[in-house]
């Protein structure tokens, strides 16, 4: 409830309906980014939920669609699943949809090793957000282009490949930017902006 205008000297109570959307992820960094991007939607609340779902092999779109629908069928509440990939052009898109596994195995050091004799260091991040409610699944995408840095560069921000990715128009890696700075230009930002437009049309 919030107080509105007064009628007869008494404050009129206005009911504000909060829509809660569950974000299925074990990564608190993603929750923080989502809340920064959607902070001006006062009647939307993003809440983290840690629930595992079967990870299929496929495109980011296929993974996000399957995951969000699978979780919705359990929760029966609005839910989002986000899947991101890091794609290096000269490596034919590797690690791509295997980004999480590659990060956990060879890490950023391994990616830099693979690029030691390569002149082309173009790369991009892509995020796909799957949203599911009683009306079915919707997908929202975001891409940010850039290049792979020569070395690992971080000021303690970011996660995963952030410390080796320099977005277009910048000379810093994502991991050298504050979360607020990164959230203004990131692939996740762009996907959530599309999601935000969708939510605004439904309010």
**Catalytic positions, written as ranges:** 83
Q: Are 160 and 125 in contact (CB under 8 A)?
A: no
Is omega for the bond preceding 7 within 30 degrees of 0, making it cis? Answer: no
Look at residues 86, 84, 79 and name the one whose alpha carbon lies nearest to residue 60: 84
- Token pair listed for 92: 């034919």
Strand spans (E) along the chain: 2-7, 10-14, 19-24, 44-49, 79-88, 95-96, 122-133, 136-148, 165-167
């Amino acid at each position: 409830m919030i107080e509105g205008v007064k009628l007869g000297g008494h404050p009129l109570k206005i009911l504000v309906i909060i829509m809660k959307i569950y974000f299925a992820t074990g990564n608190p960094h993603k929750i923080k980014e989502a809340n920064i991007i959607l902070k001006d939607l006062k009647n939307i609340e993003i809440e983290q939920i840690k629930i595992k779902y079967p990870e299929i092999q496929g495109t980011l779109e296929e993974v996000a669609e399957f995951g969000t629908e699978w979780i919705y069928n359990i929760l029966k509440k609005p839910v989002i699943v986000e899947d991101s990939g890091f794609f290096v052009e000269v490596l034919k898109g590797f690690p791509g949809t295997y980004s999480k596994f590659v990060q956990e195995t060879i890490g950023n050091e391994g990616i830099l090793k693979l690029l030691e004799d390569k002149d082309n260091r173009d790369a991009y991040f892509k995020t796909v957000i799957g949203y599911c409610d009683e009306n079915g699944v919707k997908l929202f995408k975001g891409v940010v282009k850039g290049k792979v840095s020569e070395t690992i560069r971080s000021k303690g921000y970011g996660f995963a490949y952030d410390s080796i990715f320099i977005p277009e128009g910048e000379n810093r890696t994502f991991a050298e930017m504050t979360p607020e700075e990164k959230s203004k230009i990131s692939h996740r930002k762009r996907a959530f902006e599309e999601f935000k437009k969708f939510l605004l049309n439904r309010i």
